[in-house]
Chain A
Amino acid sequence: MKNILLVDCNAEVTRTVASLLSDTCKISNRAFGDDFAPGHAGMIILDAQGGIDAPADKISRIRKACAFRAIPIIVIKDGDDLATIERLLSAGATEVLSLDAPAAACRQILQGHLIPNRTPLEKEMAYLTPFIENTVTVLKKMAFVDATFREVYFSDVLRTYGDISGIIGLSGTSEGTVAVTFYWDLARKVIANMMKVTEDKINAEYIHDGAGELINMISGSTKKQFKGTPFHFDLSLPTVVVGSGHQLGHPEGSSIAVLIFDVGEQSFVLQVCLKPKKENKEQAESVQTEAQ
């Protein structure tokens, strides 16, 4: 049975969720606090009625507490104002549902989100393993931190919920993107070590150079191992992105491998999206040839 954690949910929300999912899930209630931890929750449902700033802040903190794990955060909020929904999604919500939505729709949507993200196939680990090894090596050599690979899952979610990402585009035999994402506390430590300055000296320039260089090194050293293989790629210029909930530009329709690393109590992720380039195909242009 999957565990669903209801956070700050009133009686009505609790009753509704129970009516939809109690036959397949174990439901528990908790109030949000500074020491919030998701535990073994397979889904978190947060009641966000009234206002937007406080719920958005709660969502950000819950998402950070999830430490990049693929735990869906479902926000219960009435209304369909797109700006509000976007704000909540940017903060870290997976889905925003209203109690007014048809019960069958809610049930199916929640069931869908409860399906765990899949794990990689053997042939996918063949290209992920070098990324894992090189990430640990680069962090050790350049930033003097010990990173431990924890877990990997596949996701189609384009948003990343850290504070800063270094992203690099891949093209050639394979195409895709690779991104490394940190929360600020760990990012400052890593960048300060890399740039050989104290954390209080970190400014925009150091952030840009440090994050860019980090993803460049991870991708560059992995690229060397793929030479002559179907996974070989060329690198574009690194891009640095800041602000939580920013959306990355992974190729459409592709799965993104999310590799989670721990540095002590903190975590960061490497997102790898890699696929062989499709051959150029003339689709129905070949069928429609005669001029009108």
Chain B
Amino acid sequence: MCATNDILFINQDERFRESIIPLLQAAGYTVHAANAMRNALSVLTTHPVGLIVCDQALDDIGGLEFLGFIKKDPLRENIPVMFLVPLKDQGRPLKLFELGAVDYLVYPLDSDMLIHRIGQAFRSPSQSASALKQESAPSAPVAATARSEPATAKPAQAKPIDLSTIGVEISRDGLLWMPGKIKAFTDQSISVETSLFGKKGVALMIRFKQPEGMFVVNGRIDTIVFDDFQKPADIDILVEQDDSWRRTFHWLTHGGDAAPGGAPPGETSEPAPVQCASEIEATIALSPEEDDADEISGEQLQQKAAKKKQSYDIRFYHSIIGKQLDNYRVITLIGAGSMGGVLQGWDVALEREVALKIISFELSSKEEFRELFVKEARVISKLNHPNIAQIYNIGCSSDILYYAMEFIDGITLKDVIARYRKLSLQKGLAVLITVCKALEVVYQNSIVHRDIKPANIMITHSGAIKLVDFGVAHSRDLKPSGKHRIMGTPLYMSPEQIAGLTLDHRSDMYSLGATFYHVLCGAPPFNAKEINDVLDQHLNASIPPLWERDPKIPSQLSDVIDKMMAKDPNDRYQSFKAVADEISGLRTKATSNKT
């Protein structure tokens, strides 16, 4: 057992640290926080740490590299290390154990489970599979009964999971999965209520979503009860006693705690949920002429109202899926924001895929916004550049205002950040230069995008860069009017945008700088829990130098980003061409230095 109960908790996300650390302290641990290797090492030097709980990525180094470093240090190699990883990170747990980690947990975290596992890590750094084998001794065979009462059930261990919270899926062929509910289980069988039908002896697969991923258990129907032809059947399934079932049984009988042994190999899992709140990453519309104190300080109410509004929007978009708007067949919903929704469509006349941008119900009900929607679509349709998503057509069908545009099959820079934390330096510079060239065209056409952010820069599967979503774009020098005049995304908004001043291309310059700050180092220049605090930082706070966030970033590049994000537009680059030329110069210099 460790002589100290000090934990070094390493995570880049300040909000996440602030939410977890008090829980650990309440459990009796002394917690030291860090966000990067440099300050983690500082803690290790000055405090007797008994356990390291580490995220898969630190500010300045990857989690695996940090673990490798620790395990090579004779002074620290015996400190147990536990990792927190995204659900989709398939190969990493195995690698972690190979390098010497004692345990890992998967986001989203259950705080009780975290504390329990930390306690186990302090008591015994490694767990053995024999502990699990002792828990699952086979019981007597299940008798074939008319009703689903599992016979000779092995009594469940302490704290069995609440069955009403578990949804499973059942399949006959592994392709088509039907939902089901577990009614009861023993170590030999599971009783489920499901729409999927069968008869005695039919082989079935049951899929469980567990913290480590999807586990599939094989079995055969033993009995089926079907009293009411209007209702699902009750099926008893005799399960195969394999590793998948043993882990699942352990999970069911231990309140949802995973059995030791890591993620199931070869199983697909769902994307990791976003850890941070998304309100500051979503495009918003602020109304400063109104009573700001009520609108903005009641943020929880505002967020709740926004979520409800978005729910109506989503339902509206779903109501038209499968329908046809003029020549466009609506296929599926891609995404929705406060301005409108984007749906995938098919042009039945020209036989090509399109993206359909549909104005939100709220804006659609206001004539001024409908006129603005049409006017801006006309302006943007004149932009002709390979890196700008083109508008093909604007229409109104069944009173639904929409425009059809180029369908981009790819991912956004936001997806790249979520998946890989940041872009590599070379790739980041290449993308930045391309976006600058596209924005130069936008600028030359006297248009301000007003919502430059990672989510609006796409990379197609062939590697092409596309600037998308001109939904809040404006003609330059057009003073905002009307109720909702400030549009943008808090993390990337320019000071003049926040202040409600007249905008020009230099506002996009600032947002582009903030975007690539985030893309290059993995963290936005400013961040806070409340939107107001983020906006205030844009207005008043100095930007942490990029090279401080990532020492690998050259100071000259850091200077470029700094200049793009100068508070005063007059201090920024005055054209995107100037930025592109500067970055190209840096790239050339770096290449020639290497040779």
4 interchain residue pairs of minimum CB distance? A112-B319, A156-B322, A290-B424, A105-B312
Complex contact B400–A242 (CB within 8 A): no
Interface size class of B (residues with CB under 8 A): 35 or more
Q: Looking at the assembled complex, report how far the CB atom of A100 sits from the nearest CB atom of chain B, in whole angstroms.
A: 10
Return the CB mask of B306-333 against A: 1 if under 8 Å, else 0: 0001001101111111111100010110
Complex contact B198–A208 (CB within 8 A): yes
What chain A residues lie within 8 Å of B364 (beta carbons)?
104, 108
Complex contact A115–B324 (CB within 8 A): yes
Tell yes or no: A173 within 8 A of B by CB: no
Q: Looking at the assembled complex, report how far the CB atom of A242 sits from the nearest CB atom of chain B, in whole angstroms.
A: 5
Complex contact A118–B198 (CB within 8 A): no
Among B175-183, B249-257, B281-289, B571-579, the one that faces the other chain is B175-183
Tell yes or no: A101 within 8 A of B by CB: yes
What chain B residues lie within 8 Å of A167 (beta carbons)?
176
Tell yes or no: A19 within 8 A of B by CB: no
A117–B322 Cα distance when bound, in Å, is 6
Tell yes or no: B196 within 8 A of A by CB: yes
Interface residues of A in 112-136 (CB under 8 A from B): 112-118, 121
Complex contact B172–A112 (CB within 8 A): no
The contact sample of 21 A-B pairs, CB cut-off 8 A, is A112-B319, A113-B319, A154-B322, A156-B322, A157-B322, A169-B175, A205-B200, A237-B172, A239-B173, A242-B226, A242-B232, A255-B322, A256-B322, A281-B461, A282-B461, A284-B419, A284-B459, A289-B424, A290-B426, A290-B427, A292-B422
Q: Looking at the assembled complex, report how far the CB atom of A186 sits from the nearest CB atom of chain B, in whole angstroms.
A: 13
Complex contact B415–A204 (CB within 8 A): no
Tell yes or no: A199 within 8 A of B by CB: no
Tell yes or no: A283 within 8 A of B by CB: yes
Q: Looking at the assembled complex, report how far the CB atom of A84 sits from the nearest CB atom of chain B, in whole angstroms.
A: 16
| Contacts between the two chains (Cβ within 8 Å), count | 186
Q: Looking at the assembled complex, report how far the CB atom of B585 sits from the nearest CB atom of chain A, in whole angstroms.
A: 21
What chain A residues lie within 8 Å of B233 (beta carbons)?
204, 242-243
Tell yes or no: B224 within 8 A of A by CB: yes
Tell yes or no: A207 within 8 A of B by CB: yes
Complex contact B178–A246 (CB within 8 A): yes
A246–B323 Cα distance when bound, in Å, is 22
Known: A115-B398, A117-B322. 15 other contacts (CB 8 A): A111-B398, A111-B400, A112-B319, A112-B400, A118-B323, A167-B176, A184-B230, A204-B199, A211-B197, A240-B197, A242-B229, A243-B231, A243-B232, A287-B463, A288-B423
Interface residues of B in 230-246 (CB under 8 A from A): 230-233
Tell yes or no: B27 within 8 A of A by CB: no
Contacts A118-B322, A243-B231 given: A286-B463 contact, CB under 8 Å?
A: yes
Complex contact B416–A105 (CB within 8 A): no
What chain B residues lie within 8 Å of A281 (beta carbons)?
409, 461
Interface residues of B in 156-212 (CB under 8 A from A): 171-173, 175-179, 195-200, 202
Tell yes or no: B16 within 8 A of A by CB: no
Other-chain residue from A24, A169, A209, A244 in contact with B199 (beta carbon distance below 8 A) = A209
Interface residues of A in 235-290 (CB under 8 A from B): 236-244, 246-249, 252-256, 281-284, 286-290
A177–B409 Cα distance when bound, in Å, is 25
Tell yes or no: B390 within 8 A of A by CB: no
What chain B residues lie within 8 Å of A242 (beta carbons)?
195, 197, 226, 229, 232-233
Using CB atoms and an 8 Å cutoff, list the residues of chain B in contact with chain A.
Answer: 57, 61-62, 171-173, 175-179, 195-200, 202, 224, 226, 229-233, 309, 312-313, 315-325, 329, 331-332, 344, 348, 361-362, 364-365, 397-400, 409-411, 415-416, 419-427, 459, 461, 463
What chain A residues lie within 8 Å of B332 (beta carbons)?
156, 252-253
A177–B456 Cα distance when bound, in Å, is 35
Other-chain residue from B178, B232, B419 in contact with A239 (beta carbon distance below 8 A) = B178
What chain B residues lie within 8 Å of A169 (beta carbons)?
173, 175-176
Complex contact B196–A241 (CB within 8 A): yes
Tell yes or no: A137 within 8 A of B by CB: no
Interface residues of A in 146-182 (CB under 8 A from B): 154-157, 163-164, 167, 169, 171, 177
Contacts A115-B398, A117-B322, A288-B427 given: A109-B199 contact, CB under 8 Å?
A: no
Tell yes or no: A228 within 8 A of B by CB: no
What chain A residues lie within 8 Å of B179 (beta carbons)?
247
Closest to B331 in A: A253
Closest to B175 in A: A169
What chain A residues lie within 8 Å of B229 (beta carbons)?
163, 184, 242
Tell yes or no: A102 within 8 A of B by CB: yes
